[in-house]
Structure 1
């Protein structure tokens, strides 16, 4: 677990104090920025004071643009981090074609600049991280390979080959991006390419510019956790736009499950050893280097279509909760809810509603749920176990637990669904996959349901258990093998008592983000539901935040904000809070808030608007990749950022929209109108 200081590196006392706080919190590696020679030289004073206080945590110098500073740092610290995109290059966003000879000449120029650092690190026994950032790829990489995972991999390999040419191999590699999907694909592709080349360098994992609060934690857990589930990763950093000390417990919680497993020997389940699937079946299910959603036949719940080309749907479980009618009213859409509103009237976030309600026939039974919905004039499909739906008059999602299912119970469920015009959802557990029984049960379902009534498959994924993602992939591979293309519903089960789990640092949100995020980023899953001892509203909020982090369903403003460091010359945390307050209602708009230009213009390449620090309390404003206001005071910049409200609306108007409407929107300023 590692982190990075946010204090000014020239403030020795503040940097030492922050480093000690991180160390005492459990941080095992501390990175400090060295943007120029003077900061690199001051690392000596920082290290000396730490040693005087008997703090021996390894220090890493973070270098961008200044090879000379890297050479100084390599005399002082235990590791030097360099960025291949700006170690010997400056970002110009230049579009040009490179001939092979010109490209080779560029590589020779880079080798000439980089070799002195390689030799010094080797001579001094200093490690190096080759830290590729999606947002700062060199122009030559962008022009030949594009803004892609392949471009990131090639950037790392260019520098790795230079290191190996000089017999230097004390190297860690990272492939960071603010987009978890891109980050996951890049690390996987690098691992595959390194395997082909016989390279075995460790990986440092991180989602850069993840943001703050729950959003930042979920986005980090999706990227880092998905790779840890794959068995990739040796060090991690959770980059939050918060004080650095708050990163440590999040990182520790993320790795706890994997570190605990590494200390024990596990038996491979029989279902895994004898699973009726082949490597080719896996290849048809997961494309590790690109996003491809699994092709399914659309599933029809009563009043709701999912799977196919529909958005990933969200449901809530009421099985563990005594929920008041008023709360149900706030969680599901009202009958006849329109998409238009009166100017100035509040609008409920229509796309953030629960899209179906699931009961377990326990504390919240089916009749109560149905009566409550009718009483509050709300509409949503209902789901319940097959034994509980006898006598139902309206269409019902019939839940069929498969752990003890037989041909008889499958037929009974089918009859209940047919009687009401409903839908059967066969609910499996990962335990049945591990035991091997799930495969025969799917065969039985296919023979008894395929042509008889609409059906889907639900899969309960237990929290805080290792290997569940692999079991799910195996199960989906078998579905592909036998031609079952029904929609899939992921049902994440919060482990144990929630209060106890949180007290032990086992935050279910991080684990759910890791497991569900891995599957969703691979295009697997058509709906999700969070079950367990949790308020339905909290489960609903988390589900939509997770889909936002995976970029599969955007339901609010997307903020890309860096974690701050000694290069940032304004208060990034308070600035981020103020900009969020002014622009947080711009659903679907991406806004980047960056402390400096190191990754700013690149990481916000797909952002609609950008706010980038360029000096002491001085910033530049971007629309897309274009800088529209350069080096203006931050107070003025924040005022101008409020204009993004108008521009975001006018940019999303169709081409045929009369100019009078555009003018009216500009005059309305903060008012919303449809």
Structure 2
């Protein structure tokens, strides 16, 4: 158990992290300003016409800040021409010069742009992957060398009124950092702090920080740790968020939602970019979809903040009164800075084991009604036994039974599936209130066809009727030898449970039963939200104790119709404090089809990356096959379960010497059948070897017309002509025994 983590005010409420305001040109970010959206150009920076055209398209898509690579003096000098051309077109948008390896280009770029981004891992260092012990004196000498190289840019930016982003990349930490702190989130944080301290030495504080990684889990941990260190050191710099090398299509959006969305929900982040291997214009609407729920929380007055930041002290002292109060004083059962799966008992569901160290399972409910038995059976057969080898199957099928007609249909479906040789476990979903959900005789007939009973316990006015109904269900489950999943919702909270004092609800309600918002997530007053979360925790404990008294251990828990992320965190804390190791099925609220991809990825990905979840269920209006694919892709994007080829691909920029988007699509078409193999496709060397360190194979641009191939971090073939590189990659995969014929 850990105390409330210092990276945020509360794990159960949204509080945006307090930061100073940094102006990027005429766009202020941080403070109470909206979370800003930015992207990056992909043409050669010296191709003024192409770069300007793309910037105009980005601005038309409402991109607020545009980054342009400047890998050389020539590129940096051409930023002036780009600014002139934009002015001629009447376009005013802040530009950010992206710098790697070339301090002289950074100095020149600072004369033309509104912000300079530097990478602390390669601004004054070259990554050689050398193992070396640094004495304290030797390390201090390295920092003095670093300050000498970095000081001119700091003074130039300060003089010109140019902001700076100190952007750490997981894939390009210096050998100095790697040897002292390792390839870790702590190393990423300390890498940035080396540069921040130099900036502060010279009184420069127009700084934005970032901690990017291609692994969303690493990125989440690094940003959280950075926020905690900022508080510890009295620093209040705003953060730019992004998952680097996220990829394209659904996978790229899922990884971005898992990483960036999790942090936004933690209250962390002042500007975002979604790094897709696509036209950068496609990144902008994804960014806006991610930030909208948090920008919508801003009061109208917050948007009228003065355009220039007020003077801030060099250090801030965080007082107790600055931290938000939290009525939910529940110790947490997670570590926010390092992954550890939540320990649970193992529960068997029709031969599929959940919990413990077993893979996170996928459960889904088809949309076809039980009244159309033939159609439903055909749909389930296609999902349990996919027609295409690359599709992952339904693992647990959920059917809702509300009456005796549904009961008969459910039995018919189970028998039809068995006749066709389909053995996927059936989870039967029922509601339990004052009366049993079905007659005892009906349950006796139904449960032998079920592998799990999903029960939504509806609150009753007295403890006796509540316990009696649930006792009957436990007896039936024990007699049949199947587990129960308690699906808890606000409607499950019994009136007899002791709850915190009821506050004055801003949305109505009074003393007595908890008022339930019609649309969870909208209209949740802080008081009623606290009470709901507390009530869910107490209900979970009451059910766990009931099962303990009945010597029944085969049960799971899930949350419905409540804020999922804080609710599961609170349940985990309450149960752990009492010694209960109950497995969780992570469920989303019902999501519209258009929102399902990003919202399900954010909700489930956040919890999965924190070690929660033994099964997942995407509840949405998506067709069942799409929801199934999304479920497995979220597990893969969260690094919890690999079910297909994993691709790590960068979004391209002016450094890339080939069409990365079409190349990625081409390589995917040839290798997407290699389940479990990780392939990195990188435009250049900047982050290549580092970001693809956990990849099996790497395909990295090596100058015009040439590709280098990697196995892990080792370059094994150099300067392969572009037209031969695909086949050489396949041969390399075969040589290492990872190839199978499609």
Superposition TM-score, scaled by structure 1 size: 0.88
Aligned to 2:572: 476
The answer to whether 1:619 aligns with 2:718 is no
Please tell me whether residue 310 in structure 1 is matched to residue 358 in structure 2. yes
Residues in 2 aligned to 1:494 and 1:438: alpha-carbon distance in whole angstroms? 19
CA contact (8 A) 2:697 2:711 kept: yes
Structure 2: how far apart are the matches of 1:124 and 1:257? 35
Check whether the contact 1:333–1:379 (CA below 8 A) recurs between aligned residues.
no
Identify if the C-alpha distance between structure 1 residues 385 and 625 changes in structure 2 by more than 3 Å, giving closer, same or farther: closer
Shift of 1:468: 3.8
* 1:662 matched residue in structure 2: none
Q: Provide the rounded CA distance (Å) in 2 between the counterparts of 1:83 and 1:22.
A: 24
- The 1-side partners of 2:473 and 2:619 are apart by 22
Mapped to 1, the partners of 2:468 and 2:732 lie a distance apart of: 60
Q: Which residue number corresponds to residue 355 of structure 1?
A: 395
Contact persistence 1:325–1:376 (CA under 8 A): no
Work out which of the residue numbers 335, 339, 346 in structure 2 matches 1:287.
335
Cα displacement (A) at 1:395: 4.2
Segments of structure 1 that go 5 or more residues without pairing to the other structure are 266-271, 335-345, 651-668
Summarize deviations over 1:365-392 as a string: whole Å, max 9, x none.
Answer: 5224313312322012211234256222
Aligned equivalent of 1:659 = none
Q: CA deviation at 1:621?
A: 0.6
Contact residue 645 and residue 670 of structure 1 kept, 8 A = no
Deviations 1:599-648 (A, max 9, x none): 01111111111010010121111111111111121111111011144134
Residue 725 of structure 2 aligns with which residue?
A: 637
Match of 1:410 among 463, 470, 475: 470
CA distance in 2, matches of 1:443, 1:145: 41
Q: Secondary structure at the match of 2:546?
A: helix
Superposed, 1:15-164 pairs within 5 Å as: 15-164=51-200
SS at 1:324's partner residue?
helix
Aligned to 1:529: 617
**1:2 equivalent in alignment to 2:38:** yes
| Partner secondary structure for residue 400 of structure 2 | coil
1:568 aligns with 2:656: yes
- The 1:489/1:620 distance shift into structure 2, 3 A limit, reads same
Native 8 Å contact 2:390 2:644 kept in 1:
no
Superposed counterparts of 1:481-560, under 5 Å: 481-495=577-591, 497-498=592-593, 502=594, 507-560=595-648
- Once the two structures are superposed, what CA deviation does each residue of 1:500-520 show, in whole Å capped at 9, x if it has no partner? xx2xxxx22111111111100
Q: Could you say what the CA RMSD is over the residues aligned between the two structures, in angstroms?
A: 2.1
Contact 1:407/1:444 (8 A) holds in 2? no
Report the equivalent of 1:445.
543
Give the conservation status (yes or no) of the 8 Å contact 1:211–1:239. Answer: yes
Kindly report which structure 2 residues correspond to 1:412-431, keeping only aligned pairs within 5 A, or say none. 412-429=472-489
**Residue aligned with 1:379, SS:** coil
Contact 1:430 1:459 (8 Å CA) reproduced: no
Q: Are 1:256 and 2:327 matched, yes or no? A: no
Superposed displacement of residue 261, structure 1: 1.9
Residues 113-147 of structure 1, C-alpha deviation per residue, up to 9 Å, x if partnerless? 10000001011110000000000001111111111
SS at match of 1:86: coil
Of 377, 396, 417, which residue of structure 2 is paired with 1:325? 377
Q: How far is 1:397 from its partner?
A: 1.4
Tell me how far apart the structure 2 counterparts of residues 320 and 457 of structure 1 sit (CA, whole Å). 26
CA contact (8 A) 1:318 1:360 kept: no
SS at match of 2:209: strand
Secondary structure of the 2:121 match is coil
**Partner of 1:288: helix, strand, or coil?**
coil
What is the deviation of 1:487? 0.5
Q: Deviations over 1:61-90 (max 9, x none)?
A: 001111111111111110000000110111
Comparing 445-454 and 629-638, the one that deviates more: 445-454
**Does structure 1 residue 378 correspond to structure 2 residue 433?**
no
* Distance change (3 Å), C-alpha of 1:58 and 1:479: same
CA positional deviation for 1:539: 1.1
Shift in Å at residue 529 of structure 1?
Answer: 0.8
Partner of 1:584 in structure 2? Answer: 672
Question: How many Å separate the matches in 1 of 2:620 and 2:699?
Answer: 40
Paired with 2:127 and 2:542, the residues of 1 have a C-alpha distance of: 59
CA distance in 2 between counterparts of 1:359 and 1:644 reads 46
In 2, distance between residues paired with 1:243 and 1:618? 23
Please give the alpha-carbon distance, in whole angstroms, between the structure 2 residues aligned to 1:403 and 1:43: 64
Provide the C-alpha distance between the structure 2 equivalents of 1:559 and 1:37, rounded to a whole number of angstroms. 33
Provide the aligned length of Structure 1 versus Structure 2: 620
TM-score norm. by structure 2 comes to 0.80
Give yes or no for contact 2:455–2:485 (8 Å, CA) kept in 1.
yes
The 8 Å contact of residues 428 and 450 in structure 2, kept in 1 or not, is answered as: no
Q: Would you say 1:400 and 2:455 are equivalent positions?
A: yes
**1:209-224 residue pairs with structure 2 within 5 A?**
209-224=245-260
Write the distance in 2 (CA, Å) between the matches of 1:368 and 1:24: 56
The answer (yes or no) to whether the contact 2:390–2:673 under 8 Å persists in 1 is no
In structure 2, the partner of 1:608 is: 696
How far is the alpha carbon of 1:319 from its aligned partner? 5.4
Structure 1 CA distance for aligned equivalents of residues 213 and 194 of structure 2? 19
Counterpart of 1:655 in structure 2 is none
Give the stretch that moved more between structures: 478-487 or 153-162.
478-487
How far does the alpha carbon of each residue in 1:493-542 deviate from its partner, in whole angstroms, 9 at most, with x for none? 333x53xxx2xxxx221111111111000001110011232221111111
Q: Equivalent residue of 1:474, what SS? A: helix
Are the aligned partners of 1:7 and 1:14 in contact in 2 as well (CA < 8 Å)? yes
Structure 1 distance, partners of 2:607, 2:341, is: 10
Q: 1:33 to 1:116 in 2, by over 3 A?
A: same
In 2, the alpha carbon distance for the partners of 1:260 and 1:302 equals 44
Contact 1:64 1:83 in 2 (8 A): yes
Deviation at 1:186, TM superposition (A): 0.5
Report if aligned partners of 1:118, 1:168 keep a CA contact under 8 Å in 2. yes
